[in-house]
Amino acid sequence: MIRSVRRRRRTTVGLLVTAGALLVSTGCASIPVTSPPQVIPQSVPAAAPAGGDIRYDGIVPRPGEAPEDVVRDFLRAGGSKERAHTRARAYLTPTASKHWNDNAGALIIENSFYVDTQQGDSIRKLSAQRHGRINEDGSYVPSEGAFSFLFHLTKVDGEWRIDNPPQGLLIELSTFESAYRPYDVYFLNSGESKVVPDVRWYAAPPDSLATLLVTALEHPSKWLADAVSNDLTGVTLESNIVQERDRVKVFLTGLGDQEDTLPAGGFAQLVWTLSQLGVGAVEVYSDHQLIRPPKSPDLTLQQLKNWQGFAPDNLSVNASGYFIRDGAVWTTKDAPLAGPAGRNSFGAVSVAASVDESSVAVVQRSPAGDRLYVGAPGSLRPTVSAATLARPTWGSGIREVWTVRDARDVLLVTVDGHAYPVEVPQAQQIGPIRAVSLSRDGARVAVVAGAAGRERLWIGVVGREDGAQIQGLRPLDVGDTPVSDVSWADAGTVVALTRSGEQDSSLYSIDVDGGSPAVLVSTAGLPGPPTAVAAGPTLLTIAAGTLWRTPVASESWTRVEDRRGGESAPAYPG
């Protein structure tokens, strides 16, 4: 139920992947418009048969085609995955085709756009709204605002052809949605203990995907680079990956004269990246010699089960949910937390647990304000105090917990009680910070920020150089309703709660790279609008003061415990 569109798309590897994305907007405002604009409608068919690319068979230059139709068909043909975009090149002059770089990325524009005739028949001005862009490495970047481009056309053998195509692809949103598919390229968190997904979007044939994904492991995307490390730095593919019935063979080079194998993290990156393609196992070679993990010399075939310890979430399906009941911390196993925080007199208002559940963080409220307690459940120690403290969230492992003090300062608090500021360079841009939620690998962070009644959802990365920083914040679109809460469902998905007033409340599942639209989560069956959310093995929410849950793939909510209510602030470990 809380899996997003991107996750569902990965169930098939049929239409798949190549080009990337940056396009520079150009135009000439001094050239007058000489005819009224025309709206070009959405025109790309939805699905393609798994074995071919016949969606585009009808997109071929036609005798006597008008200049605006040439422009339209050039955009439509950009989604075809044949080598070097042969179909799109058919709409270019020979010289333009020679100099056009179709691998320079892709700018995605909204489906409805305008084409204006300018200076007679030879110039068409495209006016559109940006939707996003795919960088040359395949990473997606949200993008908004107006875009325009002047297409110059000339006649070749009596037919109109484009002689100045923009570098990279220029495609409609419908083309992007039908032709491109997302894949995770895995790097390592700062502690090199977990893999971290770096989403790439491709529109390439299935038989090229394995080689494409391993090549992408050479570098993380620019957005994620400061938050991850890479045990494959300097290592490249020596030849294309060989696919066999029960395994793929990866041929690497570049380990260096002093190395005879990869670090464990490098094997984990390869196996996690390739396993999403359904391969049975991975066999790794360096300069034609089979290599094995340094601590497992007998392990020649690498399977995902061998590298589960690097899972980015690593949250047990039996993990407890936590919540507050009348000032005490309880778990979904129908038991209060051990120690003083499990008593009503403690005055708890929010809670977080480390992924292994050995440590907790609890915010206590009193007339003097809020105080954060951190430690093992039976031996919590007081740490920072403030007028208000946001719900805490745990970083990677059990080293640290984060909170927000007085909607202004993000704090990192270690398990021994020391507090350090977390720098947010974009703090002035996003406004007061209402909540933060760290991914369980510790490399990304979801942030709810903004003036009261105008809160938005942002996603950023965690830099660790010279102290912790929240970097590269970019908005995630959940509509115009203010966001009040957020929780990580898995390494690539968050669940957000939007609220406006007492009754207008919705839950959304959102892919953190922003390339897929948010998915509305059904709240049918709840006794009232949801007021808080926690995601993990199931989805937890509070409605009418009571705690409810739904399985991941279900549309039905059930009461967690048939008690008197007074429940709030649900949380899963992380």
The Cα–Cα gap between 468 and 445 comes to 12
Q: Within a 10 A sphere around the Cβ of 99, how many other Cβ atoms?
A: 12
> How would you label 479-512 residue by residue, b for 16+ Cβ within 10 Å and e otherwise?
eebbbbbbbbbbbbbbbbbbbeeeeebbbbbbbb
3-state SS, 339-401, equals: CHHHCHHHCEEEEEECCCCCCEEEEEEECCEEEEEEECCCCCEEEEEECCECCCEECCCCCEE
CB neighbour class for 519 (10 Å; exposed up to 12, middle 13-18, buried from 19): buried
Query: What are 59's two structure tokens?
Result: 């997109």
Owner of token pair 């640290």: 400
Query: What are 172's two structure tokens?
Result: 């409609």
E-strand ranges in 15-102 read 38-40
Tell how far CA 93 is from the center of its chain: 38
> Cβ(51)–Cβ(59) under 8 Å?
no
- Which pLDDT score, from 0 to 100, does residue 15 have? 24
Owner of token pair 């997606």: 140
- Which pLDDT score, from 0 to 100, does residue 139 have? 96
Helices marked H in 200-283 = 209-216, 264-275
The Cα–Cα gap between 17 and 506 comes to 33
Helices marked H in 108-229 = 173-179, 209-216
Owner of token pair 């179909």: 87
The Cα–Cα gap between 517 and 462 comes to 24
Tell me which amino acid residue 566 is. G
Range 322-571: architecture per CATH: 6 Propeller (2.120)
Nearest to 435 by CA among 487, 478, 383: 487
Q: Could you read off the pLDDT tens digit of each residue along the chain, which spans 574 residues?
A: 444 434 433 332 222 223 333 233 333 322 222 233 333 333 222 223 333 455 666 788 999 999 999 999 999 888 877 778 888 999 999 999 999 999 899 999 998 888 888 777 799 999 999 999 999 999 999 898 999 999 999 999 999 999 999 999 999 999 899 889 999 999 999 989 999 999 999 988 888 899 999 999 999 999 999 999 999 999 999 999 999 989 999 999 998 765 789 999 999 999 999 999 999 999 999 998 999 998 888 899 999 999 999 999 888 888 999 999 999 999 999 899 999 999 999 999 999 999 999 999 999 999 999 999 999 999 999 999 999 999 999 987 778 999 999 999 999 999 989 999 999 999 999 999 999 999 999 999 999 999 999 999 999 999 998 899 999 999 999 989 999 999 999 999 999 999 987 778 999 999 999 999 999 999 999 999 999 999 999 999 999 999 999 986 667 899 997 767 789 999 999 9
E-strand ranges in 376-468 read 381-386, 393-394, 400-405, 409-414, 419-422, 433-438, 444-449, 456-463
The Cα–Cα gap between 494 and 109 comes to 25
Tell me which amino acid residue 264 is. A
Q: Tens of pLDDT along 91-105?
A: 999 999 999 999 899
Q: Quote the radius of gyration of the chain (alpha carbons, Å).
A: 26
> Cβ(117)–Cβ(124) under 8 Å?
yes
> Cβ(135)–Cβ(22) under 8 Å?
yes
Q: Which long-range contacts (CB under 8 A, 24 or more apart) does 141-149 make?
A: 141/21, 141/223, 141/474, 141/514, 142/474, 142/475, 142/477, 142/514, 143/107, 143/108, 147/25, 147/107, 147/109, 148/25, 148/26, 148/27, 149/25, 149/26, 149/27, 149/125
The Cα–Cα gap between 339 and 334 comes to 15
**Rounded (to 5) percent helix, strand, coil in the chain:** 15, 40, 45
Start and end residues for every CATH 2.120.10.30 domain found in the chain: 322-571
> Cβ(508)–Cβ(496) under 8 Å?
yes
E-strand ranges in 81-180 read 106-109, 113-118, 123-134, 140-142, 146-156, 159-162, 169-172
Q: Which long-range contacts (CB under 8 A, 24 or more apart) does 376-383 make?
A: 377/337, 377/338, 377/339, 377/341, 377/342, 378/338, 378/339, 379/339, 380/339, 380/340, 380/341, 381/417, 382/417, 383/413, 383/417, 383/419
The Cα–Cα gap between 160 and 163 comes to 10
E-strand ranges in 157-288 read 159-162, 169-172, 181-188, 195-202, 236-237, 242-243, 248-253, 282-286
- The partner residues of 370 in beta bridges, in order of sequence, read 365, 386
